[in-house]
Structure 1
Amino acid sequence: MNELTKIGKKRTILISISILLVSIHTIYFYHSVRPEIESKKLITQLIRFVLTVGLLIMVYKGKNWAKIISIVLFSLGLLGALIALGTLETPFINKVPLLVMIFVYSMAIYHFGFAKSFKEFFKYQNSETGIKETFQDSKQLMESEKFWKIIETTKSKSLGDYENQQSELEKELSKLTANEVLEFDNKFRTLRGEVYNWNFWAAAYIINGGCSDDCFSDFRGWLIGQGQLIYENAIKNIETLTELKETNDGDWEGLSYIATDVYEKKTGNDMPQGIQENFEITGEEWEEDENDLKKRFPKLYTKFGME
C-alpha cells in the first residue's frame, strides 16, 4: 500500500466516522426537543443508521454501487441541510449542527467522488477483494533476456518520458504472475547492486550537481530503465553516459518501486525478502572537489555543464 493509498484509507475512515456521528446527533436532537420519545420514529431512524453503517462498510470495501449511492444520498442530505439553514428562523447557535452537517456531507461528496487519495484506495481495495495469487519467498532471478525485453518495451512505449515509463512498467508487470514479478525485482535489485560503485556515484553527482545516498539509489534504478546497452556500456566505461540525450533533470525516483506495488496488488502481501542486494560500494572513492572530478571524469564534467 503506497502513501497516497494510506491517506485515502485514513480519510475514508475519518469521514465515515464523522457521518455516523452526525447521524447519531440528528437522532438525539430530534427526540431531545420533544416531550417524549416517538418509538416508531426512533426505530425508523435506527434502521436508517444501521443501513448507513452497512453502506459505509461497503464503500470502504471498494464497492462501486455503494460509492454511487453514498454520493447521491449525501448530496440529498446536503441539499436538505442547505434549505433548512436558509429557511429556519432560529438563533444562530441552533444552526451550528446544520453547518457541521453541511461540512461533513460536502467533505464526503468530494472525497468519494473526486479525491485522488480515495481513488487510489478504492483501486487498492478492489484489487484486494479479487482472487489473490499465491506467493513464495524466492531468490530466483528473471532471465536477462526477458528482463531487458520488459525494460526496452516500457522505454519504447513511453517515448522517453520517465513518468510514462513507470506506468508502462506497471502494465507490463501486471501481465506476469506474482512470482515472476518477484523474480523481476530480484533481477532489478541485483543489477542496481552491481553498479553500487564510486564511478557511477560520480556520474550521478556531476549530472545532478550533487547526489545523496537516496539520490544515487534512484539514479541506478533510472539507469536500468535506460536499457541494456546504456547500462552495460556504462559498466565498461562510465563516460559513455555522455551519450545520454536526456537525464530527466535528476528526477530519478519511481522505477524502483513499481514491482513492489504490483506484487502487493496481486497477492495482498508485502514483497518478500528475495535476494540480498549488494550494499558494499566498490571502486576508488573520489573527492567532492571540482578539480578531482574534472580530472577523473573530464567528458562527463564537460557534457553536463560543470565546467
Structure 2
Amino acid sequence: MDIDTFWDIVEACRRQARGRDGRLTWLCAELSRRPLTEIVGFQVCLDEVTYEASTRELWAAAERILGGRCSDDGFCYFGLWMVGLGREVFSRAVTRPDADPDALADAPEIQELAGRPRELWHDDWPDWESLDYVALEAYEIATGVDDDGDAFDDAVETERRDGNGTGGSGPLGGRRAVRDEGEVARTLPRLSVLFPVGCA
C-alpha cells in the first residue's frame, strides 16, 4: 500500500462514520475486505506517519494542548489521533517542508477543545490508541485466525525490512520542555493563546 492509498482510506473513514468507535468499525470492515498485503501495508504506513510525527516540536504542541501532561505513551496516542484529523491537518503540522505544529490551532477538533475544562473532554480527548490495533483486528478477521498478532507482526516486520518501514521510534531531536514559556510562546503562539498555562 502506498501512502496516497493509506490517506485515501483515512479520509474515506472520516466521511463515512462519526465518532471514533464508528470510524474504527468502518475501518476494520474496509480493511478486512482487502488483500492481506494491503492490511499489512496500512499498518506499515500508519507506523511511518506516526514516526514522522515524533518530533520535539510536536511534543511541545501536545504538552501545551494537554496542559503539560504528556507521557511517552500519551504522545504516541496523540500522534495516532492526529492521523485521524486527516492528511491536510497532519501535513500542515508535520510533513510539509514548512511544517508548523502551531497550525493545529486551525483544526476544528482543537478549537472545540479550547476553553473547555480538560476534565470535560471525555470522548474528545486527543488520543486514539485503538487506531494502532485496527489493522491487526482486520487481519485476524480476514484470515480467520487469532494468533495474538504473531503472524501479523511478522508480516509487518517483513514489509519494513523490504524497505517500506520506519527508521526508528521515539521523538526525533529529543523532548522539549513545555514549561520553557518563552520558547513555547515563540514557537507555538496560537496554541499558547488557546491553551494558556494554568488552564484546567
SS in 1 for 2:30: helix
Deviations 1:143-176 (A, max 9, x none): 12211111001111123x2222112211211221
2:57 is matched with 199
CA–CA distance in structure 2, aligned partners of residues 287 and 251 of structure 1: 20
Match for residue 262 of structure 1 among 138, 150, 173: 138
Match for residue 218 of structure 1 among 77, 90, 98: 77
The reply on whether 1:238 has 2:96 as its aligned counterpart is no
The reply on whether 1:252 has 2:128 as its aligned counterpart is yes
Aligned AA (1:157): Q
CA contact (8 A) 2:102 2:190 kept: yes
| CA pair 243-189 structure 1, distance change in 2 beyond 3 A | same
CA–CA distance in structure 2, aligned partners of residues 226 and 203 of structure 1: 15
1:137 is matched with none
Higher Cα Rg: structure 1 or 2? Answer: 1
1:300 is matched with 191
1:152 is matched with 11
Gaps of 5+ in 1: 1-141
Q: Displacement of 1:287 after TM fit? A: 2.0
Q: Give me the CA root mean square deviation.
A: 2.0
Deviations 1:201-242 (A, max 9, x none): 111111122111111111111111211111111121111100
SS in 2 for 1:254: helix
CA contact (8 A) 1:219 1:252 kept: yes
Q: Displacement of 1:294 after TM fit? A: 2.8
Aligned AA (2:75): F
CA–CA distance in structure 1, aligned partners of residues 180 and 172 of structure 2: 21
| CA pair 217-253 structure 1, distance change in 2 beyond 3 A | same
| CA pair 253-280 structure 1, distance change in 2 beyond 3 A | closer
Aligned length: 165
CA–CA distance in structure 1, aligned partners of residues 170 and 34 of structure 2: 31
Comparing both structures, which one devotes a greater share of its residues to helix? 1
Match for residue 36 of structure 2 among 170, 178, 190: 178
CA contact (8 A) 2:32 2:141 kept: no
CA contact (8 A) 2:80 2:127 kept: no
CA contact (8 A) 1:173 1:181 kept: yes
CA contact (8 A) 1:152 1:227 kept: yes
1:13 is matched with none
| CA pair 225-250 structure 1, distance change in 2 beyond 3 A | closer
Aligned AA (1:220): G
Q: Displacement of 1:290 after TM fit? A: 5.2
What does residue range 87-106 of structure 1 map to in structure 2 within 5 Å? none
What does residue range 98-177 of structure 1 map to in structure 2 within 5 Å? 142-159=1-18, 161-177=19-35
CA–CA distance in structure 2, aligned partners of residues 256 and 221 of structure 1: 7
Q: Displacement of 1:284 after TM fit? A: 6.1
The reply on whether 1:287 has 2:177 as its aligned counterpart is yes
1:43 is matched with none
Q: Displacement of 1:252 after TM fit? A: 2.6
CA contact (8 A) 1:199 1:284 kept: no
Gaps of 5+ in 2: 111-123
SS in 1 for 2:22: helix
What does residue range 271-286 of structure 1 map to in structure 2 within 5 Å? 271=152, 272=154, 273=157, 274-275=159-160, 276-277=165-166, 278-283=168-173, 285-286=175-176
TM-score using structure 1 length: 0.50
CA–CA distance in structure 2, aligned partners of residues 280 and 217 of structure 1: 8
